[in-house]
Structure 1
Amino acid sequence: MNSIPLLARALAAVLATTLSLQSIAATALPELGNAAAGSLSPALEKQIGQEALAAFRFQDPAYIDDPEVESYLASIGARLAASGKTGDRNFTFFALKDPGINAFAMPGGVIGVHSGLINTSQSESELAAVIAHEMAHVTQHHIGRSINQQSGSTAVLIASLLIAVLAARNSPTAAEAAIAGGQAAMLQNQLNYSRDFEREADRVGLQILETGGFDPQAMPMFFERMRQAYHGEGDAPAYLRTHPLTNERISDVQGRVRTLPYRQVPDSIEYALIKAKLAVLHETTRETIARLRDKQGGRLLDKAARHYALTLAYIADRNETEARRSYAALSALKLKTPMVATLGGQLELARGHGNDAAKLCSEARISYPGWRALDACVAEGLLAAGDGNGALASINERLATQTDDYRLYKLQAKIYTALDKPALAHRALSHVFQQHGMLRPAIEQMQLAQRSKGASAHEESAIDARLRELRAKMCDELGGKLSSESHPEGGRAGKRRDPDRCDKLAP
């Protein structure tokens, strides 16, 4: 589902800092690899995907900055990848607050999921079916192959228009010019997946789904339900506009499923609670309370979801009495999930009981060491209780093995600020910016770190070394692109580092 609106939404913020519409032809096309041949190298796919993910995280207000949502999606992806049908591909999952029914794959194994898709799914296997389909698009290299199918001149046009639309997201005039010329529409048609690719993604995705332990019947059931719900393209969700559901597609999947043994797969507790959490995101607290307060009975997971959502709503409404009552009802269900502990920690923090929050989440972390939301809960609890050093020790322990978690660095910066160590707070924020693909702000944070107090002699030396490292990296990236302007016909040769330009490029 790699339509222009989605890609533009993700990449523009990153590309706009280094590209201008006037220099696209000279500097951007070499960055797409051999555009004339229509190929995307694995390294380039990874770079594009990571830059897109960074832009989503840092620039898009719809990005759901919730470690539990991401951990849940990652658990579905890991279960599907364990089937062995995805090769050695690594996948990264994230969610957007969007009621639309959609999911999309980007280069490098980055997969986005709309909250609307999760909440509309009627079973965890249905959600897994859509994710498996997107994983298949990645493993089968459909984005690169889509470009590869075009003629040389068309591939170059696709590449140049892609960057033009991305860079123009925050420039309405430029965007309107592209649309007026009909080029954006042509590009949209070129990038939508072909029917052959859709059938291949169905076939491979079904294998991933079935060997991953989910109910394969969920795929044709979801497709059929979408087709019956949306007859015309005008009211169809983005999923159907980019993945047209033909009778042939559905019949083919149904035929394949009939050859597989029947399997009934129960939904997980996390599926029910994540759906409840995302439903609350799309409502006011009063709407959630009014919708659920008087409901009674139901299956275990229905009860759990109701009590979970009500606890969230009452916490937001600052109604401690009702929040504690709903949480007690949830706890009484004796569910085996870390999400009950993190919710309890959130409640204790709202009550001003930091030590209780830290204790609750620390105990849960023994049983669920990989659930990252528990790490933040422990540190936030200790910090709220006035134990900044304990909070810092807890975070640093996790950062020793989880250096890719920008949320830990954000929390580390918060703790250093509370401990009156601004130099180290700026250093932590530098890591946050770097992980979002923003080198210039990362360097600025290190410059602030140099001028701030709170660092030991050893830490000052480390700050200086990191600043030099970031300057060199920025010089390589910006210097290479500037050299390409002077030698556009040189292709990759233009990427050589020009030392004479470095002082001008790095701040």
Structure 2
Amino acid sequence: MKLLRPALLTLACLSALPALANDLPSLGDASSSIVSPEQEHQLGRAWLSLLRGQVSQLSDPQLKDYVESSVYRLAETSQLQDRRLEFVLLDSPQLNAFAAPGGIIGVNGGLFIYAQTEAEYASVMAHELAHLSQRHFARGLEAQQRMQLPLMAAMLAGVVAAAAGAGDAGIAAIVSTQAAAIQAQRRFSRQNEQEADRIGIVNLERAGYDPRAMPSMFGRLMRQYRYDQKPPEFLLTHPVSESRIADTTNRAEQYPQGGAQDSLRYQLMRARTQLKFERTPGVEAKRFRAMLSENPEMDAARYGLALAQVKAGQLDEANSSLAPLLTKAPDDITYNLAQIELDITANRLQQAQTRLQRLLQLYPGNYPVRQMHIDLLMEKGETQQAERELDKLVEQRRQDPDIWYQVAEVRGLTGNIVGLHQARAEYFALVGDYDQGIEQLDLAKRRASNFQIASRIDARQKQLIEEKRMVEEMLR
């Protein structure tokens, strides 16, 4: 897997000049004549595969489902016309989020730690959606007519550096060599940031949130990192100033009070994320107990305590922590999945199965519930049934490398060797390793039992070869 070349990062910084627009643009503006929305879509997917191959991601189905559903909720009331979104959740405790052309939304796990309420989290996501809806990358190219598609690829390469808040050593090395250029030219101009703030605030209010959450979070971050020489990556790519806070405050105050500030589900996901980035579960358990001592009704803290206890092997204590939550909300997905996870850990597989069957009846299409069902089938050794369930799930989540990875593992266990190689090929393509993907399809063709299967594999292999060619053009 190639790293993005340092020259591309330099070119990205030198070419990312401000887009000259003060008013909201027409979405059919001149930028579409330089880079069409379809070209953005294709290029964004190719870029995403490069990112996935270089930066560690969080594979937690509940966190992924929350990010996806929350952003789609915001997209419904946004100006975004092309809603073919793809998401990447990065395994980093640092604050960062980004948008790349083609509907790519990236979120560091650390956003859940820094954003104290759902409205604050939504304010960041609404801002990123505004970058997409206003096509800020394409408009940057429109400002310099001589730029062509390869230079847009260079601009996209710069976003990988921002995503390197995940701590990937290879990308971090590239970023260190290009620090001066990155400091000289921000990936988004001040005009674009102001526009994304304005449109984001409108979208926040339309989606039912309190738009005051945006200046509130900006103000807290500025106070916290005012004198910090190494602020979070988000503040480097989205600089916060007094004037920016004043502008967003003035705009937010134009709306009536009463928008949503927070939700229990967000706080549950926040507790889940905090535990993921704490290596010692006892530390988090102590913190959650302290929160409960101050407010015994804080359900998110009780949930976090239960997860910490499961992680520490304190299964009876975890059972006691979950009991009042399930009594209060017996149909809650998050609580029930925690109990199922506890039952599996305690080898109470029949109890886990009974609870899971009820969840499947209540929420038949829910991704985390279906994934837990597959995990339980694997725990019980029912690999044939697990393969059938995975085949159905992957049809709905074909762009999810986590699913393809598990499909390959299960097909290997069931003896479906052709299917194993096909699933590996899809996984490798999604993480940017096209050579491996093409080789896997060669192996699948050799084992194909008939001409029709071999023809389908050959057609898919040709698609991967073409995708590889496009990515190699980006890297030149």
Q: CA deviation at 1:378?
A: 0.8
Equivalent residue number for residue 115 of structure 1: 109
Equivalent residue number for residue 85 of structure 2: 91
Structure 1's 188 and 153: CA in aligned 2 closer, same or farther, altered over 3 A?
Answer: farther
Equivalent residue number for residue 326 of structure 2: 331
Q: Secondary structure at the match of 1:64?
A: coil
CA contact 2:71–2:125 (8 Å) conserved in 1:
yes
Length, aligned pairs only: 450
CA contact 2:159–2:187 (8 Å) conserved in 1:
no
Moved more, 139-148 or 217-226: 139-148
Q: Please give the alpha-carbon distance, in whole angstroms, between the structure 2 residues aligned to 1:237 and 1:294.
A: 27
Deviations 1:296-330 (A, max 9, x none): 35668x63222322222222222322232223233
Equivalent residue number for residue 298 of structure 2: 303
CA contact 2:96–2:108 (8 Å) conserved in 1:
yes
Equivalent residue number for residue 69 of structure 1: 63
Equivalent residue number for residue 42 of structure 1: 37
Equivalent residue number for residue 208 of structure 1: 203
Q: 1:78 aligns with which of 61, 65, 72?
A: 72
Q: Please give the alpha-carbon distance, in whole angstroms, between the structure 2 residues aligned to 1:141 and 1:275.
A: 30
Q: 2:403 aligns with which of 386, 400, 408?
A: 408
Structure 1's 387 and 172: CA in aligned 2 closer, same or farther, altered over 3 A?
Answer: closer
1:345 aligns with 2:340: yes
Q: Secondary structure at the match of 2:89?
A: strand
1:260 aligns with 2:255: yes
Q: Which residue type is aligned with residue 305 of structure 1?
A: A
CA contact 2:193–2:238 (8 Å) conserved in 1:
yes
Q: Which runs of 5+ in 2 are unaligned?
A: 16-30, 162-167
Equivalent residue number for residue 22 of structure 2: none
Q: 1:431 aligns with which of 426, 430, 433?
A: 426
1:47-446 equivalences under 5 Å are 47-61=42-56, 63-150=57-144, 152=146, 175=174, 179=178, 185-186=180-181, 188-232=183-227, 234-283=229-278, 284-293=280-289, 295-297=291-293, 303-334=298-329, 337-446=332-441
Q: Which residue type is aligned with residue 100 of structure 1?
A: Q
Q: CA deviation at 1:68?
A: 1.2
Q: Please give the alpha-carbon distance, in whole angstroms, between the structure 2 residues aligned to 1:469 and 1:304.
A: 52
Q: Which residue type is aligned with residue 330 of structure 1?
A: L
Q: Which residue type is aligned with residue 286 of structure 1?
A: G
Equivalent residue number for residue 505 of structure 1: none
Percent identical residues:
29
Cα RMSD (Å):
3.9
Equivalent residue number for residue 498 of structure 1: none
Structure 1's 325 and 463: CA in aligned 2 closer, same or farther, altered over 3 A?
Answer: farther
Q: Secondary structure at the match of 2:83?
A: coil
Moved more, 81-90 or 211-220: 81-90
Q: CA deviation at 1:160?
A: 5.7
Deviations 1:86-119 (A, max 9, x none): 2333333332232322211112121222222221
Q: Please give the alpha-carbon distance, in whole angstroms, between the structure 1 residues aligned to 2:314 and 2:172.
A: 48
CA contact 1:146–1:190 (8 Å) conserved in 2:
no
CA contact 1:376–1:411 (8 Å) conserved in 2:
no
Structure 1's 392 and 51: CA in aligned 2 closer, same or farther, altered over 3 A?
Answer: same
CA contact 1:307–1:329 (8 Å) conserved in 2:
no
CA contact 1:129–1:209 (8 Å) conserved in 2:
yes
Equivalent residue number for residue 23 of structure 2: none
Structure 1's 449 and 320: CA in aligned 2 closer, same or farther, altered over 3 A?
Answer: farther
Q: Which residue type is aligned with residue 343 of structure 1?
A: A
Q: 1:476 aligns with which of 450, 466, 474?
A: 466
Q: Please give the alpha-carbon distance, in whole angstroms, between the structure 2 residues aligned to 1:83 and 1:430.
A: 37
Moved more, 125-134 or 190-199: 190-199
Equivalent residue number for residue 454 of structure 2: 464
TM-score, normalising length from structure 2?
A: 0.81
Q: Which residue type is aligned with residue 308 of structure 2?
A: A
Q: Please give the alpha-carbon distance, in whole angstroms, between the structure 2 residues aligned to 1:60 and 1:122.
A: 25
Q: Please give the alpha-carbon distance, in whole angstroms, between the structure 2 residues aligned to 1:414 and 1:238.
A: 35
Moved more, 224-233 or 398-407: 398-407
Q: CA deviation at 1:129?
A: 0.6
CA contact 2:95–2:114 (8 Å) conserved in 1:
yes
Structure 1's 305 and 140: CA in aligned 2 closer, same or farther, altered over 3 A?
Answer: same
Structure 1's 335 and 190: CA in aligned 2 closer, same or farther, altered over 3 A?
Answer: farther
Deviations 1:4-49 (A, max 9, x none): xxxxxxxxx5666xx8989x99xxx9xxxxxx99944323322332
Q: Please give the alpha-carbon distance, in whole angstroms, between the structure 1 residues aligned to 2:401 and 2:454.
A: 21
CA contact 1:38–1:144 (8 Å) conserved in 2:
no
Q: Please give the alpha-carbon distance, in whole angstroms, between the structure 2 residues aligned to 1:276 and 1:249.
A: 30
Structure 1's 125 and 335: CA in aligned 2 closer, same or farther, altered over 3 A?
Answer: farther
Q: CA deviation at 1:209?
A: 0.6
Q: CA deviation at 1:152?
A: 3.8
Q: Please give the alpha-carbon distance, in whole angstroms, between the structure 2 residues aligned to 1:185 and 1:38.
A: 32
Q: Please give the alpha-carbon distance, in whole angstroms, between the structure 2 residues aligned to 1:361 and 1:56.
A: 35
CA contact 1:83–1:211 (8 Å) conserved in 2:
yes
Q: Please give the alpha-carbon distance, in whole angstroms, between the structure 2 residues aligned to 1:21 and 1:221.
A: 38
Equivalent residue number for residue 500 of structure 1: none
Q: Please give the alpha-carbon distance, in whole angstroms, between the structure 1 residues aligned to 2:221 and 2:366.
A: 33
Q: Secondary structure at the match of 1:332?
A: helix
Q: Please give the alpha-carbon distance, in whole angstroms, between the structure 2 residues aligned to 1:480 and 1:295.
A: 52
CA contact 1:57–1:436 (8 Å) conserved in 2:
yes
Q: CA deviation at 1:384?
A: 1.8
Q: Please give the alpha-carbon distance, in whole angstroms, between the structure 2 residues aligned to 1:173 and 1:273.
A: 32
Q: CA deviation at 1:441?
A: 1.7
Structure 1's 308 and 422: CA in aligned 2 closer, same or farther, altered over 3 A?
Answer: farther
Q: Secondary structure at the match of 1:296?
A: helix
Q: Please give the alpha-carbon distance, in whole angstroms, between the structure 2 residues aligned to 1:308 and 1:410.
A: 29
Structure 1's 297 and 232: CA in aligned 2 closer, same or farther, altered over 3 A?
Answer: closer
